[in-house]
């Protein structure tokens, strides 16, 4: 039996004794399913099985792997409604939002199938200036066994895109889904095992709490891709440091939206309200703070308040946002609202009464939030938006860049959107829209600062799961013989003099 540990699991959803996970249907609160918790023995067995098939998976080559990925894509497409129902039940989000996770997963598969060979395949390079007798090339080769530890907020799309990147690059993968959404992780792996019957061990899963994640890392990974909170990210980074296991860290955010004086305020309000409240605000790239210039502040607040009041909360088919599936998150949302109010903010929509009890939290719009309040600095991860008044976009850029995170962002301006966006110390920016960078599988996704490092999605996401292996092969005798002891006397002095003359001559040409 595994001991669960409150310091590392942020548990609170489900009663458990550590040997099993009991999930609940978020719409009804009724028990949904039970999953055995994997411990060190299961983790070691999964890593051994993964390692035993890694060589043959890599030897398939890009086209052989693409064939299997296409079969998997067909299986996910066929049974997508099943996944949407499971995501709706375990996570609580509206079924249409769950469907969009399936759609995104299919699109990431399409990108990986179509691009892995172009990005990672052999690339011939020119011979170096003193190595003219060599042929040079680079290949991107897989790490081996990759562990993927995932969160509950986008339980299919978030770990799914990473799993796809890692598999397409030739790695084998073991997924440890969040304990809140173990069924979704298991479903993803079962679709693989149903559709790629000649390589079932290439993608496996282990269910459990934080201790299972620790056991997976301890079992000996060649790379870890972790998605979750900053606190857990630092814990797993410290664990990986012991073995120098390379990592992709996709952590939290406190994304800011900047609204300039020349913004289309109707568009800005519609996108920001959606960007803040969709998925009940449970998005690493959810918009958490709007920095609005004084000149348009009052009009903007009026517009977002009207829109936020109309957002339907619940679990029926008309609901636009669902419950908060992790009870401990409700305390964080309440603390942030309380702190903002105590520091002079006003709740123009919602407020403390929306987090008074139960699993449903209605939208809250906090205005006149001071820049130092928790809601303006830390990740709230709930259906809230903090509105901060700024003198100009210059001040807004400074405040975004002063924060500890650096994940996504949004800029609303008719004339200066791109210029403002390029100055933000973040990984991603939507201009005159919200969150859309995450919907394009070609765009790399990841953060800076406390939001982590490394990238998923796009070419960078494929390269994240492969390391460059450089090759140089001799094709004939060397002019300089720079790599043996029988180098002719004076050859290196002549080479240095020739390089000097060439460089200085080129410099002269430029400055004349």
- Among residues 42, 101, 250, 433, the one that binds ligand NAD under rule CB under 6 A: 250
What would the x/- binding string for ligand NAD be over residues 206 to 245, using CB under 6 A? ---xx--xx------------xxx--x--xx---------
Q: Is 250 a catalytic residue?
A: yes
List the 134-142 sheet strands across, edge first: 123-125, 134-142, 466-474
Q: Following DSSP, what letter does each residue of 338-372 receive, concatenated?
A: HHHHHTT-EEEE--GGGGSSSS----EEEES--TT
Distances (CA, A) of 158 to 49, 58, 73, 473: 24, 24, 16, 41
146 neighbors 159 (Cβ within 8 angstroms): no
Q: Closest approach of Cβ 502 to ligand NAD, in Å?
A: 47
Q: Is 240 a catalytic residue?
A: no
Q: Which 88-107 residues touch ligand NAD, going by CB under 6 A?
A: none
Q: How far apart are CA 368 and CA 230, in angstroms?
A: 27
What would the x/- binding string for ligand NAD be over residues 4 to 23, using CB under 6 A? ----xxx-------------
Site for ligand NAD contains 251 (CB under 6 A): yes
- Among residues 182, 252, 322, 458, the one that binds ligand NAD under rule CB under 6 A: 252
How big, in percent rounded to 5, are the helix, strand and coil portions of the chain? 45, 20, 35
- Among residues 149, 203, 287, 367, the one that binds ligand NAD under rule CB under 6 A: 149
Q: Which is nearer to ligand NAD, 65 or 282 (CB)?
A: 282
Binding segment (CB under 6 A) for ligand NAD, from list 78-86, 151-159, 270-278, 334-342: 151-159
What would the x/- binding string for ligand NAD be over residues 338 to 377, using CB under 6 A? ----------------------------------------
Nearest CA among 337, 344, 265 for reference residue 304: 265
What would the x/- binding string for ligand NAD be over residues 388 to 417, using CB under 6 A? -------------------x----------
Q: Which residue is associated with the tokens 């603390």?
A: 335
Q: Report the 10 Å Cβ neighbour count for 315.
A: 20
Between vectors from CA 315 to CA 309 and to CA 317, what angle results, nearest 5°?
90
Contact residues toward ligand NAD (CB under 6 A) are 8-10, 149-154, 158, 176, 178-179, 209-210, 213-214, 227-229, 232, 235-236, 250-253, 284, 379, 381, 407
Q: Which residues are catalytic?
A: 250, 284
């Amino acid at each position: 039996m595994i001991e669960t540990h409150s310091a590392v699991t942020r548990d609170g959803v489900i009663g458990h004794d550590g040997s099993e996970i009991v999930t609940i249907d978020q719409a009804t609160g009724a028990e949904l399913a039970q999953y055995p918790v994997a411990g060190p023995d299961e983790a070691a067995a999964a890593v051994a099985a993964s390692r035993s098939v890694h060589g043959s998976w890599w030897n398939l080559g890009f086209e052989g792997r693409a064939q299997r990925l296409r079969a998997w894509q067909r299986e996910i497409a066929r049974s997508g409604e099943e996944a949407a129902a499971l995501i709706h039940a375990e996570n609580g989000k509206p079924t249409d939002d769950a469907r969009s996770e399936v759609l995104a997963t299919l699109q990431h598969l399409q990108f990986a199938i179509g691009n892995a060979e172009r990005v990672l395949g052999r690339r011939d390079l020119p011979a170096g200036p003193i190595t003219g007798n060599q042929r040079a090339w680079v290949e991107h080769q897989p790490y081996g066994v990759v562990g993927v530890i995932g969160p509950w907020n986008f339980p299919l799309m978030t770990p799914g895109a990473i799993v796809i990147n890692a598999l397409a690059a030739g790695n084998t993968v073991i997924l440890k889904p969040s304990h809140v959404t173990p069924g979704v992780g298991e479903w993803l792996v079962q679709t693989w095992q149903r559709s790629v019957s000649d390589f079932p061990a290439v993608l496996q899963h282990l269910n459990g709490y934080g201790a299972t994640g620790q056991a997976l890392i301890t079992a000996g990974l060649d790379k870890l891709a972790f998605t979750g909170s900053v606190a857990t990210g630092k814990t797993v980074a410290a664990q990986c440091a012991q073995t120098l296991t390379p990592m992709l860290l996709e952590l939290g955010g406190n994304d800011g939206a900047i609204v300039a004086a020349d913004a289309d305020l109707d568009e800005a309000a519609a996108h920001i309200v959606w960007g803040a409240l969709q998925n009940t605000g449970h998005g690493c790239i959810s918009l958490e703070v709007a920095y609005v210039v004084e000149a348009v502040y009052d009009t903007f607040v009026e517009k977002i308040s009207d829109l936020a009041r109309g957002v339907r909360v619940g679990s029926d088919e008309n609901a636009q946002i669902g419950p908060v599936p992790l009870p401990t998150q409700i305390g964080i949302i309440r603390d942030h609202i309380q702190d903002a109010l105590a520091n002079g903010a006003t709740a123009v929509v919602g407020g403390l009464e929306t987090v008074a009890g139960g699993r449903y939290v209605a939208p809250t719009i906090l205005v006149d939030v001071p820049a130092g309040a928790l809601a303006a600095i830390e990740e709230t991860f709930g259906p809230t938006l903090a509105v901060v008044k700024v003198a100009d976009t210059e001040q807004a850029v400074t405040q975004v860049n002063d924060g500890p995170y650096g994940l996504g962002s949004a800029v609303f301006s008719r004339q200066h959107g791109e210029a403002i966006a390029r100055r933000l110390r973040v990984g991603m920016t939507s201009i005159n829209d919200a969150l859309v960078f995450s919907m394009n599988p070609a765009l790399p996704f990841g953060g800076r600062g406390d939001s982590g490092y490394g990238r998923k999605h796009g070419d960078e996401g494929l390269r994240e799961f492969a390391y460059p292996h450089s090759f140089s092969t001799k094709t004939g005798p060397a002019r300089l013989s720079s790599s043996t002891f029988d180098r002719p006397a004076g050859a290196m002095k002549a080479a240095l003099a020739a390089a000097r003359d060439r460089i200085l001559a080129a410099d002269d040409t430029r400055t004349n």
